[in-house]
Amino acid sequence: MRQQTKRTQHLVAMELIALPAVRKLSSLVVTVLGMNPGRMTLQGTNTYLVGSGSSRILIDTGAGKAEYLDHLKGALASAGVKRLSHVLLSHHHADHVGGLQDVLALAARMDPNGHAPQIWKHEKHPLAEALDNPSVLEGLSVGFLKEGMRFATEDASCTVRTIYAPGHTDDHCCFFLEEEQALFSGDAILGQGTAVITDLKSYLSTLRALQKGDAMFKVIHPAHGPPLDDPAAAFESRSAGLMKVAFVPGRETSTWRR
Ligand SMILES: [Zn+2]
């Protein structure tokens, strides 16, 4: 218990960088904040609209907060987006999939006669079990993400490649935007501090695999916290933070915010 108290004090002491609700990060990336700040979600869950033109890819859907949907709607309107082609989900946690129902309803209102977005997630922890209302998936296309799977926007403005990256959870995937060499790291690498880990062995090999490819990454867009424009330094500090706590006997492997 004493350890827990110390840890909580550490969490409270850490300052979070303020993030705007909607921010254009590049010509191909707009981020919309999930408006769900908290101890485990930092400033809230970042979701990402990827591509240019009237059809985009959405990475993650937030926690299902009404304010998020308003901001997403505004971001889509100001970018002239008419439809979402794909919704890519990094993993099954509620702060990433909780907004799916609202996002699908919004997509249907935007494009009533068109196709609903295709939904993609790794096959472990099926989406039907992760959602409060799985009936929302009826009649929709839900595909399983696999390592190397690529998604392109309709105007071919971008290609997003799937990187299977277990450790935070065993269904966790990252996404790589080839045109900007940007890594959407989900909860595997956070913008501030280090991730919560359910399987240390898997997490270490994920971190090593990402680290090997760091020359390929120019920027990391995490699911929580600000973008990281020095990926090599980010990998290094996450590894160092992990080592610091992972081998302290009796302490949980979670290294959240260290
Ligand atoms: Zn998570």
CB count within 10 Å of CB 106 equals 17
Q: Which residues pair with 31 in a beta bridge?
A: 23, 48
Q: Which residues pair with 87 in a beta bridge?
A: 58, 119
Protein residues near ligand 1, an ion, with CB under 5 A: 93, 187
Asked, for residue 257, whether it belongs to a domain, the answer is: no
pTM: 0.89
Listed residue (227, 232, 257) closest to 244, CA to CA: 257
Helix residue spans in 35-170 (DSSP H): 66-78, 94-97, 100-110, 127-130
| pLDDT at residue number 146 | 97
Asked, for residue 222, whether it belongs to a domain, the answer is: yes
The CA 96 to ligand 1 mean position distance, Å, reads 7
For 181, left (φ over 0), alpha (ψ -120 to 50), or beta? left
Count of structural domains within the chain: 1
The CA 168 to ligand 1 mean position distance, Å, reads 7
DSSP 8-state code for residue 216: G
Asked, for residue 258, whether it belongs to a domain, the answer is: no
Supply the range of the domain harboring residue 181: 2-246
The CA 116 to ligand 1 mean position distance, Å, reads 26
The CA 73 to ligand 1 mean position distance, Å, reads 24
The CA 82 to ligand 1 mean position distance, Å, reads 29
* Structure tokens that stand for 240 in this block: 């160092």
- CATH no. for residue 95? 3.60.15.10
Q: What is the CA radius of gyration of the chain?
A: 18
Asked, for residue 52, whether it belongs to a domain, the answer is: yes
Q: Tens digits of per-residue pLDDT, 109-147? A: 998 888 899 999 999 999 999 998 899 899 888 999 999
Q: What residues are labeled active site?
A: 95
Secondary structure of residue 140 in the 3-state scheme? coil
More confident site: 144 or 245: 144
